[in-house]
Structure 1
Amino acid sequence: MNASQKKSTIWAWLVVIGCLGFYSIPTGIIANTSGIFVAPVMDQFGWSQTDTTMYRTIQPLVSAVVAPFAGRLLQKGNPRWILAAVSLAFGLASWASAYATELWQWNLYGVVFGITAGFFMYLAAPVLINSWFEKNAGIAISITAAVLSLLGAFASPIGQGMIDAYGWQTARAIMSIFTTVLSVVLTVLFVRKSPAVMGLLPVGAGHKPNETAVEKEEELTFEDGATMEQARRSPGLYLLVLVAGIFVMCAAFFQQIPAFCARTELGAGAGAMAVSIMMVGGIVFKLVLGALNDRIGVRWTGVISATCGALGIFLAYIAGANVTVFYAGMVIFGGGYAGLTVIAPMLARESFGSLNYSQVYSWVSTGIFIFTAISFVVYGMIYDTTGSYDLCFVLVIAMYLIGVVLVPVTIAISHKAWKRA
């Protein structure tokens, strides 16, 4: 490895640390711990749960509108300063919400959350990593996702401890200030738009003797890519959005698992344990999927992920009172759950290349936010209508099986839009 290649590799992994700053830290510490503040806020102000959590419904809808503009802005501007400003705005808004006493103030926070999340939650990290890594992009993305889960696992009990000791307002203010400072500092220090602006090449760029078929395919995908006109005219783009939507809707069903357990012979204790299992399993599977993607490509990794999701939910569904089978299902389900943050960005890169990745993936991000917003409504309506979660399980299994079919189909159809040309 010559000096230029070594510098490229060092800077690429520093950019990953920058992605931890604007993505993993705020999402893991603030967004993923929002549930611990619901009960104390409701108790203090006497609001309903629907009113208290309405800002979480507002957020993905606003993000869906913002994501396409964010994609173009990240492509044309300097992500270092854009994402630093986004991190600061989100952190200050989260800090201000610690002193919100009216519902409209929380809903306004949901709007600010939505605007900033349109940049940092699903879009920016894959865009930057795609620019810096021709090779090993899968493991780099999976690391940012795994750290997010790890931070969430630690932040929830720590945050709850601070709430118990000092009250929810002090706890939220402390968490927000800590997150903001760390996020902005890491973003400014380590985020750089691309290797080209620094006179470098992406990791793995250049001639590679004895490369595998997967590496050759990824090389073409990385160096070339569809124009936005080609992408918009291709059914593959809309299949790509649908596949990402399937992964997010299925992942969102995890939020229903504790309630399902509490209403069955498994019991609430099993539901609580399932959360812990998913925290650990999600971290492991994100790393595994990232490594598999770099080894065998996203076509087969996506199929494996969706198959794990379907099999895991099926086992949980047929477990009855058998806690062992239920837990085994939750472990395997982690493979599908982790697919959202690993498979979706790599599938976009494989389908349409890197030429206009930020704009292509902004479409995917929009779809993810929309499917996020409707997922809880769908599962809630099914339970309210039928009085059971049975149909929810069937729906999730069916969606994962559809994903198994659509991952390779999406790649094949997308390639026709530009590779032959």
Structure 2
Amino acid sequence: MGETATYTDKMSVRHILIIISGIMITFGCSALVFSTWSAFQAYVPDLLGVPTTQWALYITVLYLAEAFSAPFIGNLLAKTDIRIVLSASALLVGVGFILISLIKSMWIFYVAGLMMGLGEVGLLWLAVPTLCNKWFNQKSGTIIGACMAFTGIGGAIWLQVFNALIASGMDVWTIYMIWGIAALVTSLPFTLLCIRSTPEEAGCLPYGKPQTASGKPAGMDASKAMKSVAFYAVFLLAGIINLLTIVAQQFPKYTKSLDDGTGTFIAVGVTMATVMMASQAICKLALGVCADKNSKLSFFAACACGILGVLLVWFGTGSAMILYAGSAVYGFFFASCVVLVPILVRQLFGQREYPQIYSRVSMFVNIVGAVGAPFWAFFGDMSYSILFTVAIVLMVVVLLLGIFCFGKMKGLQADWTE
């Protein structure tokens, strides 16, 4: 009597739909929320008659909502039909944009920020890694990288749409309505119709040979994992990486401080931001592919690129091409936050209670995200030499934490159970 199959070597249409769904929710909801808000910053505060800092506070509300809801959403994803959770998340994002369009008041931005934060913690941080861990035993890094790349690709496309709509004379409130409809259209058909919590619910098997003979997910209990030193190491590592991705927001302001009155460096700063967005999109896919083959080497390469990128931006002011190269190289490190961190958490603690464990890591990532902009602005106001020095020191800390985590990996894996 033959053994019951526990996996498949061929991707079915259902597997491909999971990948497409991951791409669409990052291309739509996530890119619209995180990659375009700065474009509205040039118009909305003046229309509302409020300082830019007061308006931008809604992004802090968004990050804090993500941070403190992450454990709750992680538990929901582990215990509830993922279609319900992600569809509700998409509704929160889309309706948030629509409310802004209709009410046109400062207070609604804070309400929308809360709604979008509650929605994005599932859509951006937890959905893709959770689905990949359940549907794909192999190539999960490549798939996570491909999906996450579309936050950058989507950002580049939506920014062009925004610029075209503004140039046509459309007001920002109408654009917010379009953003809300776009968020719903690019997500709900996929979260409702294409996604299932597990392959078995769709009559499929996970893709690729599993780590265990039984095919059941192996790993540590979340309660045990969160008592380990390695958990706090990866907890800090993930938060610091996210903090370091935010330093890139200072590049345009840094080049503006170098301007000689001709406006050349201001234009360079804008181009650097574009290069960074394109680079991190490409690097997310590349990093995912590399991590599937050797996650340790990928991690070290990302850290090296981060340090090199900062050095090129810091000391490459004599050439615009060196500044562009610095932004491009830094994109490889930028990609590590949403690609390498979930892979590292999976390799340390396994798949069995992955959503509960990774959601706790995501909590700290988003707390850091809430304070990242003022943190780097503080050092930038002091001196950009100080800012870049702090960035390099923090990258060394990330490198040391990573070395510690990889050193603990075999010992932790020995404690995995099915």
Overall identity of the aligned pairs, in %: 26
1:16 maps to a residue whose letter is: I
Give, in whole Å, the separation in 1 of the partners of 2:195 and 2:390.
40
Q: 2:289 maps to which residue?
A: 291
Describe the superposition over 1:312-365 as per-residue Cα deviations: whole angstroms up to 9, x where unpaired. Answer: 111111113222222221121111011111111111111111011001110111
**C-alpha contact 2:10 2:207 (8 A) present in aligned 1:** no
Please report the TM-score for the alignment, with normalisation by the length of structure 2.
0.92
Is residue 88–residue 119 contact of structure 2 (8 Å, CA) maintained in 1? no
Q: Is 1:134 equivalent to 2:128 in the alignment?
A: no
The structural deviation recorded for 1:401 is 2.1
2:236 corresponds to: 242
Q: Which residue does 2:375 correspond to in 1?
A: 378
Determine the structure 2 residue equivalent to 1:355: 352
Q: CA deviation at 1:272?
A: 0.9
Instruction: State the one-letter code of the partner of 1:389.
Output: Y
The equivalent of 2:164 in structure 1 is: 161
**Match for 1:200: what amino acid?**
C
Residue 122 of structure 1: how far off its partner (Å)? 0.9
Counterpart of 1:97 (choices 90, 100, 103) is: 100
Structure 1 residue 55: deviation in Å?
Answer: 0.4
Measure, in 1, the Cα distance between the counterparts of 2:413 and 2:137.
19
Contact residue 150 and residue 283 of structure 1 kept, 8 A: yes
Q: Shift of the alpha carbon at 1:90?
A: 1.3
Residue 396 of structure 1 aligns with which residue?
391
Partner of 2:182: 178
Cα 1:81–1:7, aligned 2, differ >3 Å: closer, same or farther?
farther
Cα deviation for residue 220 of structure 1 reads 11
Q: Does the CA-based 8 Å contact 2:77-2:85 persist in structure 1?
A: yes
Partner of 1:198: 202
Q: CA deviation at 1:414?
A: 5.0
Match of 2:328 among 328, 331, 335: 331
Aligned counterparts of 1:114 and 1:268: Cα–Cα separation in 2: 32
Equivalent-residue separation in structure 2 for 1:29 and 1:101 (angstroms): 18
Aligned amino acid, residue 194 of structure 1: T
User: CA offsets, 1:72-108, max 9 Å, x none?
Assistant: 0000001112111210121011111113332221111
State the Cα deviation string for residues 176-215 of structure 1 (Å, max 9, x = none).
2122122111221211111233343321125xxxxxxxxx
2:249 to 250, 255, 262: 255
Q: 2:75 aligns with which of 72, 75, 93?
A: 72
Q: Is the 8 A contact 1:352 1:415 kept in 2?
A: no
What does residue 111 of structure 1 align with?
A: 114
Q: Any idea what SS the aligned residue of 1:98 has? A: helix
Q: What's the secondary structure of 1:47's corresponding residue? A: coil
Q: Deviations over 1:115-136 (max 9, x none)?
A: 1122212111111111111100
CA positional deviation for 1:150:
0.7
Cα distance, 1:49–1:202 mapped onto 2, change above 3 Å = same
Equivalent-residue separation in structure 1 for 2:32 and 2:101 (angstroms):
15
CA distance in 1, matches of 2:220, 2:267: 50
- Number of aligned residues: 407
Task: Give the CA deviation at 1:160.
Answer: 2.2
For structure 2, list consecutive stretches of 5 or more residues without a partner in the other structure.
none
Pairwise mapping of residues 28-67 of structure 1 onto structure 2 (< 5 A)? Answer: 28-67=31-70
Moved more, 324-333 or 309-318: 324-333
Matches of 1:252 and 1:18 in 2, distance apart?
27
- 2:25 and 2:108 map into 1 onto residues whose CA distance is 24
1:264 partnered with 2:267: no
CA separation in 1, counterparts of 2:216 and 2:254?
44
Counterpart Cα distance in 1 of 2:166 and 2:127 = 32
AA partner of residue 77 (structure 1)? T
Cα distance between partner residues in 2 of 1:321 and 1:6: 52
Q: What displacement does 1:155 show?
A: 0.6
Deviation, 1:147, is: 1.6
Superimposed CA distance per residue, residues 1-54 of structure 1 (whole angstroms, 9 cap, x where no aligned partner): x9x836754322211112223333111123310111122112212210011111
Amino acid at match of 1:286: K
Aligned CA RMSD, in angstroms, stands at 2.2
| Residues 340 and 222 of structure 1, relative CA distance in 2, 3 Å threshold | farther
One-letter identity of the residue aligned with 1:350: Q
CA distance in 2, matches of 1:225, 1:190: 27
Q: Deviations over 1:147-190 (max 9, x none)?
A: 22111101102112213321101111112212212211122121
Cα shift readout 1:198-252 (whole Å, capped 9, x = no counterpart): 343321125xxxxxxxxx7x99998421111220110111111111112111111
Structure 1 position 417, deviation (Å): 4.1
* Aligned partners of 2:55 and 2:106 also within 8 Å: yes
The residue aligned with 1:122 is: 125
* TM-score (norm. length: structure 1): 0.91
SS of equivalent to 1:267:
helix
Contact between 1:195 and 1:201, CA under 8 Å: does it hold in 2?
A: yes
CA distance in 2, matches of 1:332, 1:95: 37
CA 1:284–1:219 in structure 2 vs 1: closer, same or farther (change >3 Å)?
farther
Write the distance in 2 (CA, Å) between the matches of 1:22 and 1:84. Answer: 10
Residue type of the alignment partner of 1:175: W
Task: Look up the SS of the partner of 1:289 in the other structure.
Answer: helix
